[in-house]
Each structure stands twice: as structure tokens, then as C-alpha cells.
Structure 1
Amino acid sequence: MAWSGNLSKNIRELRFLMCQSSPASSSARTFVEKNYKELKTLNPKLPILFRECSGAEPQLWARFDFGVEKGIKLEGLSEAQISKALEDLVKAGDILKA
């Protein structure tokens, strides 16, 4: 995840929405458990928020400059696909800056 050090350059806030116990959110929970420490170490000033609610559909939201937000539904995605989705959001931030 070489791109993960660029999160704070392109994204102002990252939010994960998920259910604490549903199978639909299991890969999102696992992704967060495995990758949060690295993401936060590489981007210490970036707010990474977790919103848990029973029955919530797993989603990933990124807020960019000027209040622009993009969201991705994570239901049915593997950890690798979630990582790719996050990478795509970082790249989208590059495009928005240009």
C-alpha cells in the first residue's frame, strides 16, 4: 500500500460506516482492524472516523477540499477490493486538485 502515505495529501477526512455484527460488514471490519494502525501512522493528522450502527450498510466516504465528498458501498467487497477502492479515492483526490 505505497499509496497509503498520500491519503492526507488528497483527502481531508475518511469515514467508515458499518454494522458491528452483520456479515455484510465483516470484510469492512476486518480491513479496518488490519490496516488502521498503518493508515494512521502514515497519516497522523488525517481524521479517520468509524460510524457503527446496527444494520448499517458498509460504506466508505472521503471528504476532499471544498467539501466535495465521494462514497463507495462496501457490501460484498473483499479486503483487497476495499483497499483498491480506497486507493481509487486517493487518485480521485489528485484529479480534484488539478
Structure 2
Amino acid sequence: MAWVARLSHVFHELRVVYNARDAASAGVRQFLEEYYSFVKELNPGLPVYVRPFDGVREPYVAVRRSDGSYATRQLTNLSARAVLRQIKELTDVALPLDPVVRRRQLADIV
């Protein structure tokens, strides 16, 4: 899972939106319990926004790319591993961040 360390190299932010009680978000909640600390440990300068929201029927993950655009993936009824795979797919197709932006992210953690 070395690709997890690339998240901060290809995204400005990672956003996870889910319902705190709905069964469709169970895999997202499990993902957060099992993998969130690992993701943050490998990407300390990457903003990761976790938003439990009762009005959400379909949980999703969104990433902001270097050009300012967002890419999203629906996470409805997925397992924790499948949520991780969705994030990996977003990472695989992303272009690396501009080196100046990358330095700014690293400066945030020093």
C-alpha cells in the first residue's frame, strides 16, 4: 500500500462525506476506524476532511486536484477495503502536484 503515501503528492485535499447512522455508510465508518490514522500518518500535510452528515443518503469521497477540479466516487454499501480501492483509483489517474504547492504542504508539518 505504498500508493497511500502518494495522496499528498497528487491532491490538495481529501474529503469523506457519510451518514453516521445509515447502513449504506457502514463501510465508510469501518474505513475511518481502520485506515484513517494510517492515511494521516503517511500524509500529515494533506487536509483530510471527514464529514458525518445525517442528510447524506449516498456516502462519497471527493478529492481536489491541482487544477482546482474535484473528482468524486460514490461509496454506497462498500466495504472498508472497497473504499480504499476507490481512493486508490482516484490516485492512479491523478497528476502530481506542482512542486511549489508540494513545498507549501510540507512546510505545514515542519
**TM-score w.r.t. structure 1 length?**
0.91
* Cα distance between partner residues in 2 of 1:96 and 1:5: 13
Q: Radius of gyration: which is bigger?
A: 2
Amino acid in the other structure paired with 1:80? R
Q: Who is 1:69 aligned against?
A: 70
Quote the sequence identity (%). 32
- 1:12–1:89 Cα change, 3 Å: same
* Cα distance between partner residues in 2 of 1:51 and 1:75: 15
* Cα distance between partner residues in 2 of 1:94 and 1:3: 13
| Kept in 1: contact 2:9–2:96 (CA 8 A) | no
Deviating above 2 A after TM superposition, structure 1's stretches of 4 or more consecutive aligned residues are 94-97
1:86 aligns with 2:87: yes
| Kept in 1: contact 2:7–2:43 (CA 8 A) | yes
5-14 vs 88-97, which deviates more? 88-97
Paired residue total: 97
58-67 vs 48-57, which deviates more? 48-57
Structure 1 SS opposite 2:17: strand
Amino acid in the other structure paired with 2:88? E
**Structure 2: stretches of 5+ with no match in the other structure:** 99-110
| Residue pairs, 1:20-59, within 5 angstroms | 20-56=20-56, 57-59=58-60
* Cα distance between partner residues in 2 of 1:95 and 1:78: 28
| Kept in 2: contact 1:14–1:61 (CA 8 A) | yes
Cα offset for 1:96? 9.0
- 1:9–1:95 Cα change, 3 Å: closer
| Kept in 1: contact 2:23–2:77 (CA 8 A) | no
